[in-house]
Amino acid sequence: MRYNLPLFPPQASTVAPQVDALYYFLVAVSAFFIVLIFSLVIYFATKYRRSAPRRAAAVPHDNPRLELLWTLVPLGLTMVMFSWGASLYFDLRQPPADALEIYVLGKQWMWILQHPSGKREINELHVPRGRPVKLTMTSEDVIHSFFIPAFRIKMDVVPGRYTTAWFEATQPGEYHLFCTEYCGTKHSEMIGRVVVMEPVHYQHWLDGSRASTTGSRSSLEVRGAALFEELRCATCHKATLPGVMLGPSLVGLFGRPVQLQNGETVIADEAYIRESILNPAAKLVAGYQPLMPTYRGQVSEEGLVQLISYIRSLGEANEMRAER
Ligand code: CUA
């Protein structure tokens, strides 16, 4: 109904109606107080105007009940805003476990989007309807920001680290994708579209694009495995002699807690693996020496994503074996 108003893009994700409801609540509260305050200002300005003198003695100096009222009512209202906003924020920050993983790379001035199958898109993102999609994002140069108004998601894309966002599209169609962080001359041209397809059509699209590029493309995992060989990671991370390994095993690593030299424990997520490749000494695994050289400058952001996918696949293979 509001689809033609640019202020109100379509609600095309599961969180969109919730975000809008909070937004309308904030607008309604603000509007109520604007009307109340301005009405009182005008009313009192008229009532106590200069031409109608009052006796100063009749002015009350304090009124505890009134003071309590204008303290407690705003407190209650702001606490509602806070708890509502916080719970929605936590929902928006935690992608469901079964989400489809998409890697997003921002650079001046385009979006590169990578599907787990290895399919790579530029300024276009095809996703299935009714399935959560998790975006793991980084930038090759400056700060960008990934914004899909119809899904009510926006997240900064920062060089040197991974940020995440997720959504679940509810309606097939095409939606705008914007960069919302000023990132240089062609910032305004750093736009794209998100195509939401029925799951069947999405599968066809994936299969079709795979068939049309036979041989030249492979999945992120396969390319990651090739890069893993090329960089000779296996020298330290795979046992050549039984029991002799210079670096920790990567099998079953992804998503698991890792005990560090300094006594801390971290979860081996995308950010941890990325950091360990670029700055190996930052989080040294307990029981190992700081022998690993940095791979900063040798692996591109896309290469990192491939390596992470490969390491992730080692973890998942292990999980499957464990379950059987
Ligand atoms: Cu990228 Cu603005």
What is the predicted pLDDT for the residue at 205? Answer: 84
Going from the Cα of 125 to the center of ligand 1, the distance in angstroms, rounded, reads: 17
Shared domain check, 151 and 73: yes
Give the model confidence (pLDDT) of 122-157 as tens digits.
899 999 998 999 999 999 889 999 999 999 999 999
Residues 93 and 30 in one domain: yes
* Dihedral sign of CA atoms 47, 53, 55, 56 in order: positive
Q: Which atom of ligand 1 is nearest to the CA of 144?
A: 1
| Residue environment code for 269-307, b if the CB has 16+ CB neighbours within 10 A, otherwise e | bbbbbbbbbbebeebbbeebeeebeebeeebebbbbbbb
Domain boundary among 158, 190, 211: 211
Question: Domain check: are 35 and 179 in the same one?
Answer: yes
Q: Report pLDDT for 56.
A: 63
Q: What is the pLDDT of residue 319?
A: 46
Collect the ranges in the chain with pLDDT lower than 50: 1-2, 211-216, 317-324
Three state DSSP letters for 230-277:
HCCCHHHHCCCECCECCCCCCCCCCCCEEEECCCCEEECCHHHHHHHH
Together in a domain, 152 and 267: no
Predicted local confidence at residue 215, as pLDDT: 42
- Atom from ligand 1 closest to the CA of residue 183: 2
Query: Which atom of ligand 1 is nearest the CA belonging to 184?
Result: 2
CATH of the domain at 243: 1.10.760.10
Report the distance separating Cα 24 and Cα 232, nearest Å. Answer: 56
What pLDDT is attached to residue 115?
87
Whether residue 16 is contained in a domain is answered as yes
Task: Name the residue with the closest Cα to ligand 1, atom 1.
Answer: 144
> Is 52 part of a structural domain of the chain?
no
Going by the DSSP 8-state scheme, the letter that residue 139 receives in this structure is E
- Quote the domain boundaries for residue 249: 219-323
Ligand 1 pocket: which residues have CB below 6 Å?
106, 109, 144, 179, 181-183, 187, 190
In this structure, is residue 304 part of a structural domain?
yes
Rg (CA), the chain: 27
pLDDT for 3: 52
Q: How many A from CA of 144 to the centre of ligand 1? A: 4
Q: What is the structure's pLDDT at 300?
A: 82
| pLDDT for position 33 | 93
From 179, 211, 243, the end of a domain falls on 211
**pLDDT number for residue 269:** 84
Q: For residue 109, which atom of ligand 1 is closest to its CA?
A: 1
Output the CA 143–ligand 1 centroid distance in Å: 7
185 and 283 inside one domain: no
The predicted structure's pLDDT at residue 213: 46
User: Are 150 and 191 members of one domain?
Assistant: yes
Q: Of 194, 211, 228, at which residue does a domain stop? A: 211
CATH (domain of 111): 2.60.40.420
